[in-house]
Structure 1
Amino acid sequence: MSLVAPITIRKVTGDSIVEKPDLLAVEEPLEIRLGFGPMHDRQQRSVSVTMRTPGHDEELAMGFLYTEGIVHQREDIVSCRHCVQDEAKEGNVLRVELKPDVLVDWARLERNTFTSSSCGLCGKATIEAVMAETAGPVESDLLLDAAILHALPDRVRDAQRAFAYTGGIHAAALFDTDGTILLVREDIGRHNALDKLIGAAFWQGWLPLHTHGVFLSGRIGVELVQKSWKASIGLLGAVGAPSSLAVQMAQEAGITLAGFVRDDRFNIYTEPQRIRVGEQVVLQAPVG
């Protein structure tokens, strides 16, 4: 499946109209199914349907299952592959087979899904629900030069193949303290891009990521901080702004949060001691 789809558009400039070819980011549903239970009584259940850009579907599924607390290590997964028997949904159904001894807490999955929707829950309840699924604040001795953060938007943009063609797709990039981009994953959904990235790191055995940072091409919502906390990411930066609840959760998580990383500037919202500006380490968080 392609990341982009061709289309003919009418481009209007002033009073002129010109017909020309263009490319759009592909958006299609992905259903994630779980195979679970003892060998003599295997069962199957659909756990999620998400709109995504095709590509790295296995990593998307594994990242989702890890950040939702369904799997905890790569050994929990026997296989992860597209279903081929359902021709009507060819390429859009993925089945993840769990080891027979992996117990699935369906109630917790339903609670997490409800919490992420923020329906009728206050910020405190949302954060407490995530805290119950983690080992506590992220412990990290990461120290990053501000110059590296300044350079990330251009470096990540250069690595975004699909964005270059469409202008309508998000990216999540994993980088080290030298600013080296280790992985980039793209998707029309911000959450899916991060799930793909975490899923890839999960499968490579790189977790926890407390000595690494992640850069996002959009804004920072609370769900993105939740996923980052689960993966023990030390620093989360983004081109856009964080929400108030995202900042609250980052404070509880001990994650350094940097927003508006563009045009040679950025704002630090939490854990500023991990960023060095010139020869100075930022010791106090900004007020307000």
Structure 2
Amino acid sequence: MAQLSSVIGSILRDIISAQHEANLYSLSLSENYGKDGKVRDFQLPGVFISDMELDLKYGVISSNENQEQFNIKFNKFRKFVRTLCDEAAKTAITSVVSTVLDSDIERDEEDKVFFQRLKKEADLSREFHKFLFLNMRNSFVSNLHEAVDTKTGEVNVDVVVKRLMETVTKKFLGDSDLYRLFEGKKGKELREQAESNARTAIDGLVRKSSEDSNFKRIKVFPQLDVAVTADELSKMPEDAIHSFRLKFSPTTCNITELEEDEDLADFNMK
């Protein structure tokens, strides 16, 4: 519609310009008449354009090209992340517990008791799973957009795995109550093995969950052009041509109050 607006603006500009120039000419006559005292009060002509109506013909031309806009469905992605964190917490607990209990590290039974309880006691396992899940989910709160490719809508697997593993490292393997289990050379090796196994398991989970997931929303808008010239309209079918009726009335203005360098913008339209 920009072309149609341009045509309308051009017509209105020409009309008001004509009125303005006529009034300026009348003003110049006033100055000439004023030199002769006998015709000083001679009534000058003025130009006033009353209400007008214009009917403009225009046609809409459809282009073969479409314009696309897209964004990310973050509400859906948040739900995906929530579900993923729930599964990742379970996966991490299972992997770490298995690594520790299956290891041959020589430690007091008390040093392994937490992992034994996680395996056997459903209530403790459920509570610790909830704790780990909440911390994983919170790791995505402030920078959720980094976890999804804003151009393709695909999951940034490496970013997601990194966030999840940071939680496992800090909130699980880095717990101060596990210090004795992971102290010394053997303990350090066990901790590194537990972290590696958890990372492998979580990486596999994220990649599998992300295979068919895409969070890109695409909107398609048809491209339309407006034809206004006689040549363009003559080539179009009658049912494709529309009429635009414009009614306006320029405001009146006393020409004796005008300055010669006054801008056309002073002649406003209602």
- TM-score, length-normalised on structure 2? 0.16
Richer in strand (by share): 1
Task: Kindly name which structure, 1 or 2, has the bigger radius of gyration based on alpha carbons.
Answer: 2
* Bigger RCO of structures 1 and 2 (CA < 8 A, at least 6 apart): 2
